[in-house]
Amino acid sequence: MANAYQRKKQPERVRQQLLEVAARLSLEQGIGAVTLDAVSQAAGVSKGGLLHHFPNKLALLDGLFDELVARFDRAIEEAMEGDDVERGRFTRAYLTVCFALDAEADGKGWQVLTIALLAEPHLKERWREWVARRADEFATTDSSPNCLLARFAADGVWLADLLESHEFDAATRALLFQNLKALSLQ
Amino acid sequence: MANAYQRKKQPERVRQQLLEVAARLSLEQGIGAVTLDAVSQAAGVSKGGLLHHFPNKLALLDGLFDELVARFDRAIEEAMEGDDVERGRFTRAYLTVCFALDAEADGKGWQVLTIALLAEPHLKERWREWVARRADEFATTDSSPNCLLARFAADGVWLADLLESHEFDAATRALLFQNLKALSLQ
DNA sequence: ATAAAGATACCGTCTGGACGGTTTGTCAAG
DNA sequence: CTTGACAAACCGTCCAGACGGTATCTTTAT
């Protein structure tokens, strides 16, 4: 730390570290805690260093968004692997991922996504693009009203997880999941 | 404006104006734009004046939350009036209100609720209380999994409206609404 | 092979502005 | 004449970003 000039350069590692730290900070202390100072310090980098990787704060949030969307995409793709029914496959994967998020260890880190998303009108736009791309991609298999409905419900459940507003028992939760999956097949 | 000492004193009016302005600001420019300076200025009041009505910023957000929840409650109650089927009545009202929000003129102002809600852990807690109270109140008529599901879907639709992430045609939207209402009756 | 010539990856400090909140003062109404 | 409803100036803090530097990588020319 004292002599960081000498230490090995590992830009990709540092960049990753910055994103991780930013996610963790926002999770633990709210989005307000994500300041350039706090993030850089927690990542063991100077503020100048942070600003080298992300030219401004918006770029940092963008990077965070990209990272999280990428994880989301991967999770969905993974969930689609083991499903050989075409109809509603994407929707079922979406359901699976959304319902699993609260249990998952690093799933908590996702929460920052929405917060930033809602706070930053700019990210709202990017999310819209994601939805549009996916809707287009799976138009032939997942565009039925029932699939749409199921995905909306998943969003609702995910929001409830985020806000911790509903106290489910696991059985009800599982039942909901089953019912929604059934909807995706009709 | 120049000489506000002379103008008629109308505390309730000013208070209301402050809340309205705060809602509008958060809607148009994000929650970050809701600063004491901006709100007070846009409401034609000095910052001292604002802080007379709301001793600190948290109190302002609280007031906003109260106002919005009150409107929500009123809207739900109103929607329940014309419904004489007991089973799922609350859920149908909830659906009606959520689906109507984007069309409503001042419905847009609601959006601030979530944003503030997600940003402020403190408001998250209060929202949880609202949900719990309602869930308890209508436990006998609206606690079925299908009702729960319908309400979650409504939340999802509402979120989509908020983020402007989905482009519905009116027909699909109406169909969703009908399907969900049907669910509340099963 | 190697040395010069950039390019890249950082560090540490400074600044200007925004923002929440305080204080003191002023006017009006009851 | 006391209290409530404001105004206006001010304070301390925090924060985004600029800036100028330094050390390490990579490429290129010889």
Contact B164 A114 (CB under 8 A): no
Distance from C-alpha of B174 to C-alpha of B86, rounded to nearest angstrom: 23
Q: Which two tokens stand for residue B111?
A: 């959006």
Q: Which two tokens stand for residue A14?
A: 């540092």
pLDDT in tens, chain A (186 residues): 334 444 555 778 889 999 999 988 887 877 788 899 999 988 989 899 999 999 999 899 889 888 889 989 999 999 999 999 999 999 999 999 999 887 776 666 667 667 777 777 778 888 999 999 999 999 999 999 999 999 999 999 999 998 889 988 899 999 999 999 999 998
Contact A124 B148 (CB under 8 A): no
The fold of B9-55 is Arc Repressor Mutant, subunit A (1.10.10)
Please report the sign of the dihedral spanned by the C-alpha atoms of residue A42, residue A28, residue A160, residue B115: negative
Tell me the pLDDT tens digit for each residue of B108-133.
Answer: 666 766 777 777 778 888 899 999 99
Distance from C-alpha of B180 to C-alpha of A173, rounded to nearest angstrom: 18
Residue of B119, B145, B146 lying closest to A31 (CB–CB): B119
- Residues contacting nucleic strand C by the 7 Å CB criterion are A 2, 4-5, 9-11, 14-15, 40, 44-49, 51-53; B 5-6, 8-9, 33-38, 47-48, 51, 55-58
Contact A180 B149 (CB under 8 A): yes
Distance from C-alpha of B90 to C-alpha of A58, rounded to nearest angstrom: 42
Contact B124 A32 (CB under 8 A): no
Residues in A closer than 8 angstroms to B164, CB to CB, are 124, 128
Which sequence spans correspond to the domains of chain A? 9-55, 63-183
**Residue B52 burial (CB count, 10 A):** 13
Are the C-beta atoms of B47 and B37 separated by less than 8 Å?
Answer: yes
Identify the residue among B58, B131, B149, B176 best suited for mutation to test binding to A, counting A beta carbons within 10 A and taking the highest.
B149
Helix axes B57-81, B11-29, angle to 10 degrees: 90
Q: What is the DSSP string of B69-89?
A: HHHHHHHHHHHHHT----TTH
Closest residue (CA to C1') to nucleotide C23 in the complex: B48
Q: Which two tokens stand for residue B90?
A: 């609350």
The b/e string for B68-91 (b: 16+ C-beta within 10 A; e otherwise) is beebbeebbeebbeeeeeeebbbb
